[in-house]
Amino acid sequence: MEKMSMSHEDYLEAMVMLGASPEKPIRSVDVATKMGVSKASVNKAMSVLKEKGFAEQPYYGDITLTERGYEYGSSVLDRHNLLFQFLHKALGIPEERADHEACLMEHAISDESFERWSAYIKGLDL
């Protein structure tokens, strides 16, 4: 799948966290609140996400993720959660710092490296 910018990945991740899916729309004001940005910033990001086929939003309507957008956002969220758990619980890094660093790492690591690391962490043979 085409790699998105960190910012757009964060939007997709936030939307999944808010419960967005192909069947469940969410409000852009809730995305703005979750991310600590203006509604105008959400609208700007939505233009790109709609153009790339990750989300749908009628003029001033609620946001619905496409299947592709939901899969991508869920993947980013899954990466974040696993990285956070490892940093915080396995390594003892304080929660706030582990959350911040997991956010940075989730965008930087390649799919292949993450899959190998995840398998290792889960105790699977590579």
Q: What pLDDT digit, counting tens, does each position of 66-118 carry?
A: 999 999 999 999 999 999 999 999 899 999 999 999 999 999 998 899 999 98
Domain span(s) for CATH 1.10.60 in the chain? 74-121
Residue 14 in contact with residue 72, Cβ under 8 Å? no
Domain 74-121 adopts which CATH fold? Diphtheria Toxin Repressor; domain 2 (1.10.60)
- Report which secondary-structure segment, H or E, holds 55: strand 55-56
Give the pTM.
0.88
Phi, psi angles (nearest 5°) of residue 77: -65, -40
Contacts of 36 (CB under 8 A, 6+ apart): none
Residue 37 in contact with residue 27, Cβ under 8 Å? no
The CATH code for residues 6-70 is 1.10.10.10
Helix/strand/coil for 38:
coil
Domain span(s) for CATH 1.10.10.10 in the chain? 6-70
Interval 13-21 mean pLDDT: 96
